[in-house]
Structure 1
Amino acid sequence: MLAIAAVVLALFAWNHIPGPKPVKVIARLFMLVTCQFTAILMVFVMVNNANSLYDTWDDFLGTGGSHVVEAREPAPPPAPEQKLLTKFDPAGDGKMGEGVQETTLKGPQSGVEAEVYVWLPPQYKDPAFADKKFPVVELLPGYPGSAKAWFGTLDVNKQLKGMMAKGEVAPFILVSPRTKLLAGQEDTGCADVPGKANADTWISGDVRRMVIDNFRAESDPKHWAIAGYSAGAHCATRMALLHPDRYGAGVSLSGYNDPKGESDSVTSKDPALRVSSNPLTILKNAQQPPKVALYMAGEKGDGLGDAQALKAIAKPPTAITVAEISGGGHGTDVWRRMVPDVFRWLTKTLV
């Protein structure tokens, strides 16, 4: 609306500016700049909405307000009898499709208070599955990226609903937590960063515990997976290797090993965190190979080499499947098309 209004006003006012010639020149220059600015702003908003990069202007500007992060040491996990119960409401964003629920979770371990989105498979309310617990997949966006992206941009729930109904893939509970926790353009790299945020504990501790406590979700790690694309793919690989006691599988779509692949991440700027967050380092330094399966997809020059490097040093019971993406670039259109194959693999791996 601003872009259209700027052009209309410029056309109307161009020959009606009073005053001497210098004033007219300055006024017309201002109108041209305004038209350019609003046009660029319109394109930014369209690209942002199409790719679910930022949820709000506060997220983009780093003024916060939609979430709380305590900069402290992670706390021990709550006792089993202390259920992490929370109230869910239908997701307010219609682009996410039917069935997506949202809650604001206050994580007792991490000190993070932020939104989490959950989608339950069609079978969840089917009386025939009343006594069944369901496998779970945590979904992480890239950076910058919104927790809504897998549902709103990649259409994961819309793609899988029919496949689940036909029995082509298993019925999974899908969970997507906020991963953009720091103000401004800083990315945690999904790590626990001293003095900043406990992102790892939030995703693998608080969110996981909340899902188990609120839904008929499996608790055994062999029925849990974590998946991501781009920076979220790096996070998924890193966390699956670090926490085989929480995840039996990880999925990386166009990810990378060296955190330097994400120039704005805190882990890329801190030498110690950069080394400890690299999946290659994690796998090399593991006292024994983690029992976890990884599905790593990438294009030449965009994730494929990183996946092959990790596969080259993996030893049983670590199992790595590498899939080559044939063109398409680093974008949501490519990752959206990969959703069916990813969940077919997860069905074979987790169920």
Structure 2
Amino acid sequence: MGLTSDKTLALTILFAVLLFVGTVWLWPRLARRNWRAVSGRVGLLLVTQVALFACLGIAVNQAFGFYASWADLLGRETDQGVVVDHVAGGAGRGPVQVVSTSQVHGVSGSGPRATGQVQKVDIVGRTTHMATPAYVYLPPEYFQPQYRARTFPVTVVLTGYPGTARSLVDKLHYPRTAQKLARDGRMRPMILVMLRPTVAPPRDTECVDVPRGPQAETFFAKDLPDAVHAHYRVGRGPGSWGIIGDSTGGYCALKLAMHHPGVYAAGAGLSAYYKAPVDPTTGDLFKGDGRLRDRANLWWLLGHEPAPNTSLLVTSSKIGETNYKDTLKFIARVQATNLTRISSIILDSGGHNFNTWRREIPATLQWISGRLSDR
């Protein structure tokens, strides 16, 4: 049973309940003052508390999608994607392999022409040789005959760290929200490419090209767009791609839009921060390269390099988010530039969690849709 399985959670809860009942039942028998009775009481309390903490941990992981599997939790996720190239006519091999398909749940209708489709894929970067799983949402129009010659705008959607790509589908409901907004005429149909920024697990690369290490920024700025272009009908112009992320993914989205405005015409950071941290999860990201460290700092970027021609969206909450004051300062700093455009969503209250981001996602998708073209 997987880490995110409902059966795993149910069995863990059942085990904890049985231990609690057993502790109550056996406690009178362990009331003596000898070492065996004391050891029994200590053991029962310890095992029961561990079981309760396991229940809580598994439930929180299911709610927030921190880890996708036991291997991911233990830092043993090292399997690379399998490359299958695709060319016209169905022969050949390409950087995107479709592993499975499913319909978009929570919307009326059946079949991809009515609800769209979610494809689980493996993507391999041809220049960085980095591999990552992802989910691709294709809107209903992608499958309808009248749109067979049309290209679609693309938005890359990133989780936080460590995060799971599946949480963007099941917990944050990006495909369902995009389908409903497009159906209601509130945004244009677009393709969503959903993945986590951790493309060299378990390391948190902060979307940095690490010297003599993972080239994460190049993967997102070059390899990912090239792979998607090769496999799907997407716009190739500089105005047809956007990027959204939450937390770590939000920082990556803002940085990629600012570093590569010719690739990403718009970037939205939900609960983002503005400077790459260096901690045990990241390791040494910069290897003494001061220039690389500075460019990973969005404050430094705004003060020392020409303003990028891109659109940015930042979000925060007056109560519940630690980035509120920094976000206001960032907005003011961007407003002082003469080219970069800035928008914001500021909630009265909301924590650093899925519930807050679900409240911000509809408006964010509408915002980014209005800044992308089909070509």
Return the TM-score normalized by structure 2: 0.80
Q: CA deviation at 1:283?
A: 2.9
The residue type paired with residue 36 of structure 1 is Q
Pick the aligned partner of 1:275 from 280, 291, 294: 294
Counterpart in 1 of 2:329? 309
Counterpart in 2 of 1:116? 134
Q: CA deviation at 1:95?
A: 8.4
Question: 2:284 and 2:324 mapped to 1: Cα distance?
Answer: 22
TM-aligned CA distance change 1:126 to 1:94, over 3 Å: closer
Question: Do residues 330 (structure 1) and 352 (structure 2) align?
Answer: yes
Question: Do residues 164 (structure 1) and 182 (structure 2) align?
Answer: yes
- SS state at 1:296 partner: strand
Query: What whole-Å deviation, never above 9, does each CA across 1:245-283 have from its counterpart, x for those lacking one?
Result: 211000011111122398843477867354321112223
Question: 2:103 and 2:201 mapped to 1: Cα distance?
Answer: 23
TM-aligned CA distance change 1:170 to 1:302, over 3 Å: farther
Pick the aligned partner of 2:251 from 230, 234, 238: 234
- SS state at 1:337 partner: helix
Question: 2:268 and 2:286 mapped to 1: Cα distance?
Answer: 25
Contact preservation (8 Å) 1:140, 1:177? yes
Q: CA deviation at 1:181?
A: 3.8
Contact preservation (8 Å) 1:255, 1:306? no
Contact preservation (8 Å) 2:266, 2:310? yes
Query: What whole-Å deviation, never above 9, does each CA across 1:148-194 have from its counterpart, x for those lacking one?
Result: 2221211111122122122211111000123224455x411111112
Pick the aligned partner of 1:84 from 83, 94, 117: 94
Aligned residues: 336
Question: Do residues 126 (structure 1) and 150 (structure 2) align?
Answer: no
Unaligned runs of 5+ in 1: 69-81
Question: Do residues 320 (structure 1) and 342 (structure 2) align?
Answer: yes
Question: 1:9 and 1:204 mapped to 2: Cα distance?
Answer: 57
TM-aligned CA distance change 1:262 to 1:174, over 3 Å: farther
Give me the CA root mean square deviation: 3.0
- SS state at 1:197 partner: coil
Pick the aligned partner of 2:239 from 199, 205, 222: 222
Counterpart in 2 of 1:48? 61
TM-aligned CA distance change 1:7 to 1:196, over 3 Å: farther
Pick the aligned partner of 2:41 from 28, 34, 57: 28
Query: What whole-Å deviation, never above 9, does each CA across 1:110-134 have from its counterpart, x for those lacking one?
Result: 2212212101112111112111100
TM-aligned CA distance change 1:144 to 1:95, over 3 Å: farther
- SS state at 2:339 partner: coil
Q: CA deviation at 1:225?
A: 0.5
Q: CA deviation at 1:57?
A: 1.6
Q: State the identity as a percent.
A: 27
Q: CA deviation at 1:12?
A: 5.2
Question: Do residues 7 (structure 1) and 26 (structure 2) align?
Answer: no
Contact preservation (8 Å) 1:111, 1:198? no
Contact preservation (8 Å) 2:205, 2:285? no
The residue type paired with residue 273 of structure 2 is Y
Contact preservation (8 Å) 2:95, 2:125? no
The residue type paired with residue 309 of structure 1 is K
Question: Do residues 61 (structure 1) and 74 (structure 2) align?
Answer: yes
Q: How does 1:148-187 map to 2 (within 5 A)?
A: 148-184=166-202, 186-187=203-204
Question: 2:351 and 2:245 mapped to 1: Cα distance?
Answer: 16
